Amino acid sequence: MPRKSSGNYAILGLLAIEPMSGYDIRKFVQEVLSSFWNESYGRIYPLLAELSRQGLARKRLERRTGKPDRHVYQISQRGRAELRAWLRLPPQPIQIRNEASLKLFFGANLSIQENLRAIERVRDRLLREKAALAEFEEAQARERDESDQGEYFALVLRLGQMLNQVRLRWCDEASERLERRSRRRTRKEA
Amino acid sequence: MPRKSSGNYAILGLLAIEPMSGYDIRKFVQEVLSSFWNESYGRIYPLLAELSRQGLARKRLERRTGKPDRHVYQISQRGRAELRAWLRLPPQPIQIRNEASLKLFFGANLSIQENLRAIERVRDRLLREKAALAEFEEAQARERDESDQGEYFALVLRLGQMLNQVRLRWCDEASERLERRSRRRTRKEA
DNA sequence: AACACCATGTAAGCTGTTACATGATTAA
DNA sequence: TTAATCATGTAACAGCTTACATGGTGTT
């Protein structure tokens, strides 16, 4: 049996937390998982249909007044079993494409000043992320969710915060190093 | 004009460091860039051909005795200009798929012990990465490369080390939290 | 002779994004 | 009525991996 792609299981895992629509899933992924996962609409809807066809999730129409109707998917017992089996497999290696790092690695092709500005922009992004993470933490603290799901959510949130913090520290360090180098250069030219 | 994919420029950037063959590029990416970038053979060779067709790199056959001949690509002046233009564009957002984090996020579907073992495996991977990074640092220190390229290499190497370190710290913290939770649970059952 | 590494390339097929099409509801 | 958000889906295309095919060279 060819191993199914992780996208299937990512969605199955979310349905195991609570029943969701495709729209919910997209939102959840963007808001909560974005620091280590992504799924687009173009994948979510076909994958939901497939999960439904395979009997791993059940689709039901939720009629609502005041808001558009929606298709809510609920994980089945077989779905949970498949999810657990997948969770036990060794994880695939991390896949990453960090264009900002790549560009800095090629920084020798630009001026030091341009690279300093690039690092500044990275820092801005990190500060915005930091604020978003802090909001999550507050929301979490307010909810006082003692469930297992709450615990694992807290763990990955903490990882996100630690990574964010260390990246910010790196920005400071890198800026300082480049500024020193820039000053050394000006002195030599004089 | 449709914006070309970053793969083109990643390869162009490597050729700007020194002339390389497809094989060299693959090796370099795996050894040096793997913490933030990846390119497979299936992309490298077609992209090299395209760069050559567009006049951004020149291909030449290097005949060697004692080793197989190889096709070495050298960046052209136009290639350097295109590279600089790309470097100045704002970077694409980070793309990441971290299956290990995703699985831990879904940890509530497994036992605490299973999740602890998963974290142990992550830690092992990180320790191996740490050793590889330390080797790089030593090689760097030995070379005493004072060029700009050496400086930018050192910067991204440093980022890699800081991220590795903080991830290891997170493993310790997460293990401790889960162990506490596990003990609390056993007490309650008693 | 076998294995490891060097070296180049292609084809099939999956993965994943983007743009498009469609329409409901709510608030300004 | 305009914009924002909620909501579902598809089609075209680009990105990317994997397996395969092929062959040279060096070491054990």
Our measurement of CA A141 to C1' D4, in angstroms, reads 30
Q: What is the pLDDT of residue A3?
A: 55
Q: What is the pLDDT of residues B127-182, one digit of tens each?
A: 999 999 998 899 888 888 999 999 999 999 999 999 999 999 999 999 999 999 99
* Interface check B185 vs A, CB under 8 A: no
Nucleotide nearest to B26 (CA to C1'): C7
Percent of chain B clearing pLDDT 90 (strictly above): 88
Q: Please give the average per-residue pLDDT across A45-73, as a whole number.
A: 94
Partners of B74 in the β-ladder: B58
Mean residue pLDDT of chain A comes to: 94
Q: What is the pLDDT of residues A116-144, one digit of tens each?
A: 999 999 999 999 999 999 988 998 888 88
Which of A91, A90, A117 has its CA nearest to residue A104? A117
Our measurement of CA B36 to C1' D14, in angstroms, reads 21
Among B91, B121, B156, beta carbon nearest to A90: B121
Q: Please give the average per-residue pLDDT across A45-60, as a whole number.
A: 96
Enumerate the residues of chain A whose CB falls inside 8 A of the CB of residue B13: 102, 105-106, 109
Burial profile A147-180: b = 16 or more Cβ within 10 angstroms, e = fewer: ebbebbbbbbbbbbbbbbebbbebbeebeeebee
pLDDT of B88 higher than 90? yes
Percent of chain A clearing pLDDT 90 (strictly above): 86
Enumerate the residues of chain B whose CB falls inside 8 A of the CB of residue A81: none
- pLDDT higher at B166 or A4: B166
Instruction: Supply angle C-alpha B117, B118, B124, rounded to 5.
Output: 90
| pTM of the complete model | 0.94
pLDDT of B102 higher than 80? yes
In B71-130, the residues whose Cβ lies within 8 Å of chain A are 80, 83-84, 87-88, 90-92, 94-110, 114-115, 118, 121
- Yes or no: say if A13 and B105 are a contact pair by the CB < 8 Å rule: yes
Q: What is the pLDDT of residue B2?
A: 41
- pLDDT higher at B188 or A122: A122
Q: What is the pLDDT of residue B162?
A: 98
Contact across the interface for B156 and A94, Cβ inside 8 Å: no
- What is the enclosing helix (H) or strand (E) of B152? helix B148-189
Our measurement of CA A66 to C1' D2, in angstroms, reads 20
Q: Please give the average per-residue pLDDT across A148-167, as a whole number.
A: 97
Q: Please give the average per-residue pLDDT across A96-100, as a whole number.
A: 96
Q: Please give the average per-residue pLDDT across A137-154, as a whole number.
A: 92
Q: What is the pLDDT of residue B1?
A: 39
pLDDT of B3 higher than 90? no
| CA–CA gap between residue A47 and residue A181 (Å, rounded) | 51
Nucleotide nearest to A68 (CA to C1'): C24
Test mutation, B84, B101, B136, chain A, max A CBs within 10 A: B101
B90: CB within 7 A of chain D nucleic strand? no
